[in-house]
Structure 1
């Protein structure tokens, strides 16, 4: 989703913006602010620094009582018509900002819409030109999704790979459709395990940065890969 800001919401790659859904909650109060990772570079999808893009998944689930529950803000956004006004605030956040080193190795681990900040990184790296920045390092993206139909931005990533084959790698983990040689479901950590030795060599470099965005549960699986590797060389964290 692309929102026009007229340049009044300047941001950096990796930050978030807040959205307040229209209407009131069941107590008659305004809905709470919901933060979304920005999915566009600082220049925006049209290159004029006057828009901000989000990657939004409609949240609908059935609770323990058998009731269908809809996420307030995600459904508000997904039901919007082109040209509608939206209350946004921000930007906020600094934890996901890109490293300044153009020769860095940047390993990006994403599940689902957690791809958003990494799309912003990759646009800056491969789709845009700057006088003071040209990416010459390695950007390696691992993206985990349940089905191939839920893959996000595959065409864009294909163009990036064709444009910079030595600087961009992308590996998908499609959990409901793929398995490893042992027959285990292909989660993001399962895919990473196939490259664990190569990843460990990259992690030992001073200018390697690792980012994670998506389901919190992915942390445990990734720890299960990296901790044994670190232990081999006498590291504990």
Structure 2
């Protein structure tokens, strides 16, 4: 499922919703209100002091961005889903495409910013569908939609509520016989996006998905986020909402957001500058651990994969989950067996039955999985 533009220069330069008051009337003109969300007008009348949502509303000319925050902000009952579908997609435009890995990375990954004009509101943890142009040579039909997890908060990296960011790895195939890449086997959609230029049109569907949402009704919840490669996308949206953009939930959040990321080497790290900035600004609420398979070794002397890194903290991860944390998995499906086996081992040490414990976490909505082959 994972897509698997330029990121903000620094945490200090990122705008917050409170900074939207000035200079955004033009951007707001294209926005479409979503009546399914509660209006902030009632909250405005109830309190003589202007709050954050009212500030946003005023900045965008009378509520045109009400869809960005529900009222109350944690209410997920009317989250936007499938605003645009395959038969009638929205036509967005590429804003920027930027390679975000170093020269020694195993492949190319791009940060791609797309304008949706405020007409495809989404929440953190959701996905957009992209329909690449052209015909599938195997069946003679138009290319099918590909899903990409969204890597920006609902406000977009530019904080206008009119863009989205995707994190896309260019899919290629190395032919051992030719000793070269085989263009016939390259990923159609990923190459289309990574080759796109500003102004190019792109057909979008969605937003889709409710599996990876943040439980914002609990400002003390711990979030344990496990990713391989471009599976980092939804967590970037989480972290920006929590720590970068001064959102309603971010202003009250007191829990721990703990990120685990597995990639091949240091050059393949994604958004590391952003994580380091958040570590400095929120040292008590954010942690990050990397598994670099070609640079680190696990306790047995083998390559350090993401499941090995999580296993180093097995007791702490289990205890946090047992105390109500939410655990998210996004990326390659192959990481799951090692992690579940590790947690099963902790269960046995505590005299617990793993199947029962996992069932409890799933029932409580603490277990979020969005992985791919």
Per the shorter chain, which TM-score range?
A: over 0.9
Using the TM superposition, give the Cα deviation of residue 18 of structure 1 relative to its aligned residue in structure 2, in angstroms. 0.2
Q: Distance in 2 between matches of 1:132 and 1:86?
A: 32
How is 1:63-212 mapped onto 2 (pairs within 5 angstroms)?
A: 68=182, 69-100=185-216, 101-131=218-248, 133=250, 134-206=252-324, 208-212=325-329
Q: Distance in 2 between matches of 1:46 and 1:136?
A: 25
Aligned counterpart in structure 2 of residue 19 of structure 1, from 130, 140, 149: 130
CA deviation vs aligned residue, 1:60-119 (integer Å, no higher than 9, x gap) = 014698782100100111111111110011100000111112210000000000000000
Using the TM superposition, give the Cα deviation of residue 132 of structure 1 relative to its aligned residue in structure 2, in angstroms. 5.5
Using the TM superposition, give the Cα deviation of residue 131 of structure 1 relative to its aligned residue in structure 2, in angstroms. 3.9
Structure 2 residues not aligned, in runs of 5+: 1-111, 356-373
CA deviation vs aligned residue, 1:34-82 (integer Å, no higher than 9, x gap) = 0000000011101111001100000001469878210010011111111
Structure 1 residues not aligned, in runs of 5+: none
Q: Secondary structure at the match of 1:110?
A: strand
Q: Secondary structure at the match of 1:217?
A: helix
**TM-score normalised over the length of structure 1:** 0.95
Greater Cα radius of gyration, structure 1 or 2? 2
Using the TM superposition, give the Cα deviation of residue 130 of structure 1 relative to its aligned residue in structure 2, in angstroms. 2.7
Q: Aligned pair in 2 of structure 1 residues 18, 58: CA closer, same or farther (>3 Å)?
A: same
**TM-score normalised over the length of structure 2:** 0.61
Moved over 3 A (4+): 62-67
Q: Over aligned residues, Cα RMSD in angstroms?
A: 1.6
